[in-house]
């Protein structure tokens, strides 16, 4: 009844729309001639036009699942619809994507009314602009009345399409045979998973599959069907609160994979890092498994960072979808000269009374030792799987690793990337560490909190987000607890607890040559991510602005004006938005419009020019949109600039190095300790003592009113801990202590 009433109401407004906007069917909107496709042109003849069309809904509105900070409500809805010809079933040029958010008179993006309740088989009228995103044709609404449900029919069916018609073996799209299936519901048959890609803090996943000829396509996750259990749904009409997808392992064979074909442009015939045509399943029934290797899940390493007195426990579940687990082996070594295929192997132990729980204990190693390991499981059909996942056909297995640290975890351990991915080896882990603030959220500073190992250089800095981060100044030492995550290529710690230690130290920047393209190539600057660095020429030659506008607020510096962009370093300033984190206290910008766009600058903008030179420039090295860029914290970070900038008057910490050195000091002994430890405070009284493990959990709390306290450590595991002592003057003292077995 509701849809009948809606039909009557929308028909009344439909006549006015018909007069303003011509009707064009989906086939006409999509069609591109063979000649244009052969010339790598897949642009619709109606690009930029406002049209009216009818289509049959293919994908339910309640299963679109794309988070968005720009759309009110945090979800960007969308539908795929098919030409009403042939009942809406898939066919060449018959499908199109409908973007479900419109801009109101105030400039805000809002979800289209009712779009998230649309069902497969609904017949809709849509008025919108023909546009494209990453070369994929889309209809974008002109207002809140662009979408109307006109009736219903049976849900559309899919078309079976050879993978080789879409992409080649290099995952480059083939427009001459594939473009006709863009935005269509298709089935791929007999494909094998080659690699599984986790991202967004392991809450999202995609995977690549190949056919028998090696042609490759990415299976992506724009719908609920492929969201992991850790993903919190954003579609308000979603049938679930979280995802529930169990990702495959490399080697899994699908007899059938269904979904919507989207275009993620990769240069047509040149692979530039994007995905070509991709497949997006939207229902759990779209994954039909023929056979699968063993599934390794719920892996855990305890402790994540051991001391030389600790063994390391590995636990996991290993099961098989279509048979039994034949063997389960852990390969590990402390020999840094060995390739992964040379690691010695040892059988995992099946936990008594279980069928799929396995465990193993890695031995103790000396302080500073690098330990590498991986798991291999084989089923009764000879199918192998690995943890961490290893792509099919890889020359060497992937591995995880850790350093033994008697002094406790460092930021280095969070950042150091041995596998070349740039991702932290501790993603998903809760960690506790001590570091020095190099950039803060305080006035006249960067606006973001960065912390660095004292005395650290490579791999020593990290970006901190989350709770309680606004109370800290540069040079202050802080004790941080939080969870490690990756955010668009940047390692972050999502802070759950942060405290002053009472110490203060000055961090000297790491000097790098911005013109050294060889050092920067192949992610060579990854080791400086989130580190305080200084662009400076080795011979102290001047740096010049050599590219005044690289887009998105970036400009370049080099030792020669007009030099190649490859021999230069990027700088970003004047923006603080969800995608451009830079200081609002830096005057040198690419465009004066940044005074009020993407944040409101607190200093007057000065547009850069190639007449400007400097001795050096400092800041935090940031990675985003496939580029490393320097984030100056304020005007003071420009050294020897030939342009006068405003004085920024950076607020200073109230903690004085001299005051701290003259206050009472904490002594903890013995250290390492076994069952007892004595804490003494010279020249004052202790009011409280707390002991934290490296996951940030308080394992011991003691209140006192004396200068000497004895702690009972019995029952605590061997390992590194953070000792926190409060004195009667309100000071906080911290130290790393070791409990041995």
pLDDT per residue as tens digits for the range 133-142: 888 999 999 9
The answer on pLDDT for 418 being more than 80 is: yes
> What is the average pLDDT across 199-213?
88
Query: Do 144 and 165 fall into the same domain?
Result: no
Q: Is the pLDDT of residue 657 over 80?
A: no
Shared domain for 341 and 435, answered yes or no, is no
pLDDT digits (tens, 9 = 90+) for 216-225: 999 999 999 9
Same domain, 492 and 519: no
Q: Are 616 and 532 in contact (CB under 8 A)?
A: no
The answer on pLDDT for 368 being more than 70 is yes
**Is the peptide bond between 53 and the residue preceding it cis, with omega within 30 degrees of 0?**
no
Looking at the fold, whether 135 and 99 belong to one and the same domain comes out as: yes
On whether both 563 and 612 belong to a single domain, the answer is yes
Q: Shortest CA distance to 172 belongs to which of 161, 181, 180, 164?
A: 164
**pLDDT over 80 at 658, yes or no:** no
Q: Select the more confidently predicted residue: 421 or 377.
A: 377
* Distance, CA of 406 to chain centre: 30
- pTM recorded for the entire structure: 0.76
630 and 670 housed in the same domain = no
The confidence band for 328, taking pLDDT boundaries of 50, 70 and 90, is very high
CATH code, domain with 447:
2.40.50.140
- Above 80 in pLDDT, residue 371? yes
Q: Is pLDDT larger for residue 602 or for residue 269?
A: 602
Percent of the chain with pLDDT strictly greater than 90: 65
Label residue 664 by pLDDT band (50, 70, 90).
low
Q: Phi, psi at residue 312, to the nearest 5°?
A: -125, 125
Would 117 be classed as within a structural domain? yes
**Domain assignment present for 693:** yes
Last residue of one domain, picked from the residues 404, 426, 444 = 404
- Do 428 and 400 lie in one domain? The reply is no
Confidence of residue 656 (pLDDT cuts 50, 70, 90): low
Residues 225 and 326 in one domain: no
**Residue 283 backbone class (left: φ over 0; alpha: ψ -120 to 50; beta: rest):** beta
Same domain, 270 and 376: no
What CATH code is carried by the domain that includes residue 317? 2.60.40.10
Residue with the larger pLDDT of the pair 229 and 567 = 229
pLDDT-above-70 percentage for the chain: 94
Mean of pLDDT values over 234-238: 95
| Count of domains forming the chain | 6
Q: What is the CATH number of the domain that holds 727?
A: 2.60.40.1930
Kindly state the average pLDDT of the residues 403-417.
92
Residue 579, pLDDT score? 65
| pLDDT in the model for residue 387 | 94
Domain boundary residue among 465, 481, 504? Answer: 504
**Residue 20 falls inside a structural domain:** no
In a domain, 654, yes or no: no
In a domain, 289, yes or no: no
Query: Would you say 702 and 689 are in contact if contact means Cβ atoms under 8 Å apart?
Result: yes
Cβ partners under 8 Å of residue 586, min gap 6: 573, 574, 603, 632, 633, 634, 635, 637
Note the pLDDT tens digit of each residue in 34-45: 999 998 889 999
DSSP-assigned states of every residue in 359-421: EEEEPP--TT-EEEEEEEEEETTS-EEEES---TT-SS---EEEE--TT---HHHHH--SSSS
Position 201 scores a pLDDT of 67
75 pLDDT exceeds 90?
A: yes
Query: How confident is residue 564, by pLDDT bands cut at 50, 70 and 90?
Result: low
- If asked whether residues 611 and 633 sit together in one domain, one would say yes
Whether 652 is in a domain gets the answer: no
- The pLDDT of 363-383, averaged and rounded, is 96
- Most confident by average pLDDT, 371-385, 650-664, 667-681: 371-385
Q: Which residues contact 515 (CB under 8 A, 6 or more apart)?
A: 537, 558, 559, 563, 567, 568, 569
Q: What does the pLDDT read at residue 251?
A: 92
Query: Which residue's structure tokens are 């497969």?
Result: 120
Q: Which residues span the domain enclosing 448?
A: 411-504
Mean pLDDT of the residues in the chain: 89
Look at residue 80 and tell me whether its pLDDT is greater than 90.
yes
User: Within a domain: residue 644?
Assistant: no
Q: Which of 355, 385, 404 is a domain's end point? A: 404
Residue 247 has a pLDDT of: 92
Q: Report, as an integer, the average pLDDT of 57-67.
A: 96
Q: Can you give the pLDDT at residue 190?
A: 97
Asked whether residue 147 falls in the same domain as residue 96, the answer is yes
Residue 273 pLDDT greater than 60, yes or no = no
User: Is the pLDDT reported for residue 5 higher than 70?
Assistant: no
Q: Are 485 and 430 in contact (CB under 8 A)?
A: no
Q: What is the pLDDT of residue 70?
A: 83
Q: For residue 625, is pLDDT > 80?
A: no
653 lies in some domain: no
pLDDT of residue 126: 97
* Surface-to-core class of residue 521, CB atoms within 10 Å of its CB (0-12 exposed, 13-18 middle, 19+ buried): exposed
Residues 81 and 182 in one domain: no
């Amino acid at each position: 009844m509701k849809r009948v009433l809606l039909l009557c109401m929308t028909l009344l407004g439909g006549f006015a729309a018909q007069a303003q906007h011509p009707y064009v069917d989906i086939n006409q909107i999509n069609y591109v001639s063979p000649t244009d496709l052969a010339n790598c042109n897949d642009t619709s003849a109606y690009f930029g036009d406002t049209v009216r069309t009818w289509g049959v809904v293919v994908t339910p509105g309640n299963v679109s699942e794309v988070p968005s900070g720009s759309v009110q409500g945090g979800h960007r809805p969308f539908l795929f619809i098919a030409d009403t010809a042939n009942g809406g079933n898939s066919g060449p040029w018959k499908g199109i994507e409908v973007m479900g958010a419109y801009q109101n008179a105030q400039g805000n993006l809002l979800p289209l009314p009712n779009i998230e309740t649309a069902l497969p088989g609904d017949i809709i009228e849509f008025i919108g602009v023909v546009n494209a995103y990453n070369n994929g044709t889309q209809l974008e609404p002109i207002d809140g009345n662009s979408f109307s449900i006109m009736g219903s029919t049976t849900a559309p069916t899919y078309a079976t399409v050879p993978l080789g018609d879409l992409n080649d073996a290099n995952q480059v799209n083939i427009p001459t045979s594939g473009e006709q299936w863009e935005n269509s519901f298709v089935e791929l048959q007999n494909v094998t998973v080659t690699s599984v890609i986790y991202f967004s803090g392991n809450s999202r996943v995609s995977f690549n599959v190949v056919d028998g000829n090696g042609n490759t396509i990415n299976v992506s996750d724009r719908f609920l069907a492929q969201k992991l259990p850790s993903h919190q749904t954003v579609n308000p009409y979603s049938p679930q609160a979280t995802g529930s997808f169990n990702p495959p392992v490399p080697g899994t064979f699908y007899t059938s994979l269904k979904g919507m074909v989207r275009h993620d442009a990769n240069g047509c015939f040149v692979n530039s890092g994007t995905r070509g045509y991709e497949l997006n399943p939207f229902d759990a029934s779209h994954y039909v498994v023929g056979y699968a290797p063993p599934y390794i899940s719920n892996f855990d390493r305890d402790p994540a960072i051991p001391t030389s007195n600790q063994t390391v426990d590995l636990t996991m579940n290993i099961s098989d979808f279509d048979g039994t687990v034949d063997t389960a082996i852990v390969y590990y070594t402390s020999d840094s000269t060995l390739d992964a295929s040379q690691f010695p192997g040892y059988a995992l132990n099946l936990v008594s009374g279980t069928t799929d729980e396995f465990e193993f204990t890695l031995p103790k190693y000396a302080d500073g030792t690098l330990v590498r390991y991986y798991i291999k499981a084989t089923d009764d059909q000879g199918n192998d799987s690995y943890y961490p996942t290893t792509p099919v056909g890889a020359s060497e297995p992937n591995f995880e690793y850790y350093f033994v640290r008697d002094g406790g975890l460092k930021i280095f351990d969070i950042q150091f990337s041995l596998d070349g991915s740039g991702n932290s080896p501790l993603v998903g882990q809760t960690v506790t560490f001590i570091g020095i603030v190099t950039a803060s959220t305080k006035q006249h500073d960067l606006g973001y909190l960065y912390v660095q190992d004292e005395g650290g250089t490579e791999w020593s800095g990290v970006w901190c987000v989350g709770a309680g981060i606004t109370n800290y100044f540069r040079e202050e030492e802080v004790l941080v607890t939080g969870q490690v995550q990756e955010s668009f290529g940047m390692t972050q710690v999502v802070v759950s607890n942060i405290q002053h230690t009472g110490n203060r130290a000055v961090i000297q920047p790491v000097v790098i040559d911005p013109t050294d393209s060889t050092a920067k190539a192949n992610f060579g600057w990854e080791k400086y991510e989130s580190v305080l660095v200084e662009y400076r020429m080795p011979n102290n030659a001047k740096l010049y602005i050599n590219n005044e506008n690289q887009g998105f607020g970036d400009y370049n510096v080099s030792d020669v004006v007009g030099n190649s962009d490859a021999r230069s370093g990027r700088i970003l300033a004047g923006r603080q938005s969800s995608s451009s984190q830079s200081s609002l206290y830096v005057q040198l910008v690419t465009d004066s419009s940044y005074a009020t766009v993407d944040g409101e600058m607190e200093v007057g903008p000065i547009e850069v020019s190639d007449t400007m030179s400097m001795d050096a420039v400092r800041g935090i090295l940031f990675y985003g949109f496939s580029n490393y860029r320097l984030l100056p914290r304020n005007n003071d970070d420009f050294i020897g600039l030939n342009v006068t900038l405003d004085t920024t008057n950076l607020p200073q910490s109230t903690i004085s190095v001299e005051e701290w050195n003259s206050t009472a000091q904490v002594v903890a002994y013995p250290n390492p300790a076994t069952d007892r430890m004595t804490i003494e405070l010279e020249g004052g009284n202790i009011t409280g003592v707390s002991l934290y493990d490296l996951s940030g959990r308080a394992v011991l709390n003691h209140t006192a009113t004396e200068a000497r306290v004895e702690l009972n450590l019995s029952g605590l595991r061997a390992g590194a801990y953070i000792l926190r002592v409060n004195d009667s003057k309100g000071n906080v003292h911290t130290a790393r202590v070791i409990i041995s077995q």
